[in-house]
Structure 1
Amino acid sequence: MAKKLLSFHHFISLLLLLILSFQSSNGLPLKSTRRSPRLLGRFSKPTKPLLKNYKYETRYFDQNLDHFSFADLPKFRQRYLISFEHWVGPEKAGPIFFYCGNEGYIDWFAENTGFVWELAPRFGALVVFPEHRYYGESMPHGSTSEAYRNASTLSYLTAEQALADYAILLTDLKKNLSAEACPVVLFGGSYGGMLAAWMRLKYPHLSVGALASSAPVLQFEDIVPPETFYDIVSNVFRHESRSCFNTIKTSWDALLSEVHKEDGLLQLTKTFHLCQKLNSSVDLSNWWDSAYTSLAMANYPYPTEFLMPLPGDPIKEVCRKIDSCPYGTGVLECIFEGLNVYYNYTGSVDCFNLDDDPHGENGWNWQACTEMVMPMSSNRYSSMFPEFYYNYTEYKEGCWEDFKVTPRPTWITTEFGGHDFKADLKNFGSNIIFSNGLLDPWSGGSVLEDISESIVALVTEKGAHHLDLRAATSEDPNWLLEQRAKEIMLIEDWIKSYNDRKHLAEI
């Protein structure tokens, strides 16, 4: 990625530590030791001032390092953004809109969640965006370097601790604002969507409902087929252009062929305009993989700067570049033309740096090596990616090498459920919206059908990664307007039902 753009452009995702297992020279598939993809990972750090259009305050809360023991441990400062601009106050039971921050800088999430800000005046709501521990400015142990030093200092980076942070912060806020009777609506996208759904289930007394957008809560163990994610990415490209799909599919072998030539790595460095000589073909294949999966996530119908500055329908533009290569142009040169749409649409980049995590803020790597074990594989028949398969033994060995920890692949489903999810949600859950667009590769690990009258799935055929949470634009298609209208109607119903029950209880 370009040096100019690689200062950690945005958050979560994604997915952008997808370490592509490389095929051996005999063409046999390799076992996958890749970590769970970052949902939005390296894009979580803003590169410019954000939130110019919103009025808010930045505050800090002294948060417990460990909520589940009584050890006398030092606290850390959790950052949160709060906006009173439209709140009608506790006297009128003004609701609280609480976004469950994901794996990155909270101002980036707030910037890309315009839907919440735009709903606030309609509902007279207080808006709160808390930052996830170990990300952004909310660093335990005093600094990023100390927090990420080893398994001991990282041990408190878990989803359970983060949810407890949110529960404690929310409870304290309501008490200090005399807002104990104000209804709370949870929001979240991607990993934040998972947290919103899980918080609704784990702390049902603290909220009246949750909007979980693009939340792959089922992307664990053997709940969904491991090839689902890469199949969806591949299908989006195939649907756009069969020839583009085929070119990408054959490009991995072309890459291998080039690597085996004398000075092949040097030639690849030149072809892909890299800032430094390529040391490994794996680095380049990771770079390709990151672009394709991110494009599927950010395949929005209008221009955005969500992950990168991109045109509307960016996959269409990528495939147009690949398909329009002059006759006789090599496969790798065509691939570069397509990737250039993703990595250099503005045309301002002279060379690309493949370093995936230049700031060392690899908190998601830790989470993937402990709780967030999301098995992934690629099928040679249905995928445009090289074939690889998930192997837990090698996955575990890689995590031990990096962090000296052993993953717990069954812990998330033990803690939050997953198997028999429909029955569990129907019996124990209520008031959750799972919204997904089928262009988003993470939709395959989410809830795509209604569970009950109050746990509903809103699915759009053309939607990409939590598009519904983005700010409204004049270019929004009708199906997106209809989706948001349904979400607003459900949120209104949650708040009304809560207020009606509270009123009856007071009589």
Structure 2
Amino acid sequence: MATSAIPLTLVLILCFFFFFSFTQSTPQLLGKYANKPRNLSSSSYKYETRYFTQRLDHFSFHEYGSFSQRYLINTRNWVAKGPIFMYCGNEGDIEWFATNSGFLWELAPRFGAMLLFPEHRYYGESMPYGSKEEAYKNNTTLAFLTAEQAIADYAVLLKELKHNLSAEGCPVVLFGGSYGGMLAAWMRLKYPHLTIGAVASSAPILQFEDIVPPETFYNIVSNDFRRESTTCFNKIKESWGALQSMGENADGLMQLAKTFHICGELKSSDDLSDWLSSAYSYLAMVNYPYPSDFLMPLPGHPIKEVCKRIDSAADGTSVLDRIFHGVSVYYNYTGAVDCFKMDDDPHGMSGWQWQACTEMVMPMTSDPDKSMFPSFKFNYTYEQERCMRSYGVKPRGRWITTEFGGRDFKTTWKNSGSNIIFANGLLDPWSGGSVLQNVSETLIALNTEEGAHHLDLRASTANDPEWLIQQRTSEIRLIEVWINDYNQGRGSALSM
């Protein structure tokens, strides 16, 4: 769930990381004090951890070796001929995503379903070459980190598991949020013979080339803040110039580090700009109506709390002090942090930087008329040079749409795809790159005005608003139809 491409996703994973130097990067770093994956075996989520030997390269008959893929499995509620609900692991430790996908755990007893959470290659414990150090060593060892290979992993694992469990006749429904939602949708389109449907939540599968306007992401983030407070929006917009001016002073970086409680030396004001930009984008992604700890421990409606702190500062408070108090809602809501490190990756998401430099190229810009962020344009030449410096590779900006489609999707997917739910909360900046209108009777868009990043996949709570309950109810209704149609050997569509 990451600028030339994203998460966020989740941001998602997203992130589906912003460069103040007027190039862009997608929000990625979650910060040192983001929650670590919980030990689900000691919680209400019980599972068995297993490992499966995968080919390193599914698309060559040359033997490049193999690696051990981790997956989590729960069969407690599984009944004879019951469905398999598989979450397509995205760019991080699979336990983290299993922890934050309570919707699946709630569905399992209702449907008599097996739950399966395979981990994405090159993330968590699923490391080729024996270790992360070796796997991330150079562009040769990283060459097999692609969405295509990951989906093939899921397909091979699924077929083998169904065979071993005598479950060949059990229908499979895919789930995923952010990048995982993209994988779920792409797998349904690519391997329709293996699955009967997919729930793709907050999946920005159209955020490539020029399919959606490149300013969409930052405009949505900005609008989320402006809807809470125009003053807050304007203070954030004003802060970039103040930050840059201070950074140019003789002791400016030292003063900035002091103001924002940065651990150690601040190397450039650009690093601080990235840190602030990431916080605003993540706040928009997880602007949930109740307290959560998906990325950081946060209150309900966290953007409202950020703007409250920015706006309520005493007269005479500098704009940068206001910004620090506001952004502390994201980085330090519990008050337990004395200083901030700016380069931590607690969920093991650093592989996304490689993916953004190869095939996950998501052009973004900031519109000075509508955005609270500094104005910048996506610079493909700069991205090529950056990726060459970092990895010795050039991004392939048109590969994803070549491999999975996206251009003219209303025609092509209508003819070739079926049974996908594209679920989006319109407060989520990634929603702008997703499918927001029904493509056909079976390719359904479910939108909520107040929803944020794959909120529908999270566990239900006593504080769930009615619109969220209705969104999940619609998803359940569609899944029931898919399973009933499969069991009855027919393919009728549900009219929504």
Class of the TM-score when normalised by the shorter of the 2 chains? over 0.9
SS in 2 for 1:463: coil
SS in 2 for 1:206: coil
Q: Check 1:37–1:325 CA distance in 2 against 1; reply closer, same or farther (3 A cut).
A: closer
Structure-2 residue corresponding to 1:163: 151
1:61 aligns with 2:49: no
- Which AA in structure 1 matches 2:17? L
1:16, CA displacement in angstroms? Answer: 7.1
Moved more, 250-259 or 145-154: 250-259
1:260 aligns with 2:259: no
Structure-1 residue corresponding to 2:275: 287
Moved more, 256-265 or 139-148: 256-265
Q: Check 1:428–1:17 CA distance in 2 against 1; reply closer, same or farther (3 A cut).
A: closer
> Which one of 56, 62, 70 corresponds to residue 71 of structure 1?
62
- Which AA in structure 2 matches 1:49? N
1:21 aligns with 2:20: yes
> Which one of 98, 106, 109 corresponds to residue 110 of structure 1?
98
1:286-317 residue CA offsets vs partner (Å, 9 max, x unmatched): 11001000000000000000100000000000
Structure-2 residue corresponding to 1:471: 459
Query: Is residue 93–residue 348 contact of structure 2 (8 Å, CA) maintained in 1?
Result: no
SS in 2 for 1:55: coil
1:189-215 residue CA offsets vs partner (Å, 9 max, x unmatched): 000000000000000000110000000
* 1:442-481 matched pairs, under 5 angstroms: 442-481=430-469
Q: Check 1:427–1:359 CA distance in 2 against 1; reply closer, same or farther (3 A cut).
A: closer
1:354 aligns with 2:342: yes
Partners of 1:162 and 1:242 in 2: CA distance: 43
Q: TM-score, normalised to structure 1's length?
A: 0.92
1:79-133 residue CA offsets vs partner (Å, 9 max, x unmatched): 00000110003xxx10000110000000000000000010000000000000000
* 1:389-468 matched pairs, under 5 angstroms: 389-468=377-456
* 1:169-180 matched pairs, under 5 angstroms: 169-180=157-168
Q: Check 1:166–1:49 CA distance in 2 against 1; reply closer, same or farther (3 A cut).
A: same
1:385 aligns with 2:362: no
1:332, CA displacement in angstroms? Answer: 0.3
1:406, CA displacement in angstroms? Answer: 1.0
Runs of 4+ in 1 over 3 A off after TM superposition: 10-17, 34-45, 356-361
Partners of 1:459 and 1:100 in 2: CA distance: 21
Query: Is residue 14–residue 41 contact of structure 1 (8 Å, CA) maintained in 2?
Result: no
Partners of 2:34 and 2:203 in 1: CA distance: 17
Moved more, 274-283 or 226-235: 274-283
Q: Check 1:361–1:127 CA distance in 2 against 1; reply closer, same or farther (3 A cut).
A: closer
- Structure 1 gap ranges (5+): 1-9, 23-29
1:37, CA displacement in angstroms? Answer: 4.3
- Structure 2 gap ranges (5+): 1-8, 492-496
> Which one of 121, 126, 149 corresponds to residue 138 of structure 1?
126
Percent identity among equivalent residues?
65
Partners of 2:346 and 2:117 in 1: CA distance: 26
1:38, CA displacement in angstroms? Answer: 3.9
Query: Is residue 11–residue 105 contact of structure 1 (8 Å, CA) maintained in 2?
Result: no
Query: Is residue 365–residue 377 contact of structure 2 (8 Å, CA) maintained in 1?
Result: yes
> Which one of 133, 151, 176 corresponds to residue 188 of structure 1?
176
SS in 2 for 1:20: coil
| Matched pairs, number | 482
| Root mean square deviation, CA, Å | 1.9
1:371-391 residue CA offsets vs partner (Å, 9 max, x unmatched): 000001101110000000001
> Which one of 301, 313, 322 corresponds to residue 289 of structure 2?
301
1:440-462 residue CA offsets vs partner (Å, 9 max, x unmatched): 00000000000111110000000
